[in-house]
Amino acid sequence: MKYEDDSRIVMTLDAGGTNLVFSAIQGNNEVVEPVTLPSNAHDLKLCLNTILEGFNQVKKGLPEDPVAISFAFPGPADYPAGIIGDLGNLPAFRGGVALGPMLEEKFKLPVFINNDGDLFAYGEAIAGFLPEVNQKLLKLGSYKQYHNLFGVTLGTGFGGGIVRNGELFLGDNSAGAEIWLMRHRNHETFVEEGASIRAVQRVYAEEAGLKGSMPPTPKEIFDIAQGRLKGNSQAALKAFDELGKVVGDALCNAITLIDGLMVLGGGLTGAHSMFLPQIVSEMNHPISTLSGKKIDRLEVKVYNLEDEEEFFMFAQGGEKEIVVPGTQRSIRWDPAKRLGVGISRLGTSKAVALGAYAFALHNLDRV
């Protein structure tokens, strides 16, 4: 499914607790200047009127009528029904708000709503990480191709999305891929506490002995680790090391059920050189039986696809020719089960927007 030459227009929205950013996409490209309006998260009526105003402003600037509205909105929600539940960063939404049906009524268009983790994964599966890896494998002479992708976003929170054979997996309760609720590797809490911006800042503050003062930003902690900014370099290295191990552990648990490539997005990925190797190391680290015997954590070997040498080994695999019993014929077989982890090729915001666009057109085409 490629939509770069599709002439249909879909209106989109990037919904945050502070601002709402409206736009429209045609052929995988933005076709209007984005419209930014305050979210008015404290007042439901005002927020809903702002959403209507934003889409109306975008529609006026379009060269032709849109075919759908598609966007990411925070959960909990019943996304297929377009009903938003009790939100944390948009507190006016309480008790079930039929946002999708309202927009359908006002604009007479199909409306598709998902969360940003789902749409990020879908965008990278359609036009980003997944097709790029498959193309690179072919160029390196490998016949191995991947069809499943697990996308995670590392930033204020820890979100996830699953794409299987070109289809976005939503679950029966709009609660698929909620990786943030997995158990933390080191503490009796949920994993987002160790896989987010606040986690990096907390570990740095603890290791550096900061008490009562505001910790540096993750960008500043990255610069401290790199020696470009004054600070506690050991604490900075520890913060990213722990992030990598915690994320790697969560990905291990998730990928056993998915068996696909993994792509990371979100604000923390700018520092991926500091924690991606730790993610891969954690995923390849053995575990033990109760008798103490070491066994592989996963049935597959995991590679860092941002490292050219590792990507070459990933592409090479273990391909060989085997003879079909009772015949003179031989076939190719690659017994090396392997997966890879890499960084967003589109950028998180663009991946979410393209995911929203592709999801709308894909569903329209199925009708």
| Residue-by-residue DSSP string for 312-354 | HHHHHTT-EEEEPTTSS-EEEE----EEEEEE-SS-HHHHHHH
pLDDT at 56: 97
- Whether 259 and 135 map to the same domain: the answer is yes
The CA angle 210-211-215, to the nearest 5 degrees, is 50
Number of C-beta neighbours around residue 342 at 10 A: 24
In a domain, 123, yes or no: no
- The residue range of the domain holding 192 is 129-345
Domain CATH number, residue 18: 3.30.420.40
- Strand blocks (E) in 73-147: 77-78, 83-84, 97-98, 111-114
3-state secondary structure 93-110: CCCCEEHHHHHHHHHCCC
In a domain, 231, yes or no: yes
Number of C-beta neighbours around residue 150 at 10 A: 27
Whether the CB-CB separation of 260 and 146 falls below 8 Å is answered with: yes
pLDDT at 121: 97
- Whether 171 and 305 map to the same domain: the answer is yes
In a domain, 146, yes or no: yes
- The total domain count for the chain is 2
- Whether 135 and 63 map to the same domain: the answer is no
In a domain, 136, yes or no: yes
Structure tokens at 22: 């409206």
Close Cβ partners of 252 (under 8 Å, ≥ 6 residues apart): 282, 283, 297, 298
Length of the chain measured in residues: 367
pLDDT at 88: 79
- Whether 51 and 154 map to the same domain: the answer is no
- Whether 90 and 199 map to the same domain: the answer is no
Cis preceding-peptide flag for 76 (omega within 30 of 0):
yes
CA 283 to chain centre: 18
In a domain, 119, yes or no: no
- Whether 305 and 214 map to the same domain: the answer is yes
pTM: 0.93
pLDDT at 289: 95
The residue ranges of the chain whose pLDDT is under 70 are: 1
- Whether 203 and 237 map to the same domain: the answer is yes
Close Cβ partners of 339 (under 8 Å, ≥ 6 residues apart): 255, 259, 260, 261, 262, 298, 300, 301, 302, 303
- Whether 250 and 329 map to the same domain: the answer is yes
In a domain, 297, yes or no: yes
Which residue, 81, 114, 147, sits at the end of a domain?
114
pLDDT at 18: 82
- Whether 145 and 289 map to the same domain: the answer is yes
- Whether 170 and 62 map to the same domain: the answer is no
pLDDT at 16: 77
- Whether 154 and 91 map to the same domain: the answer is no
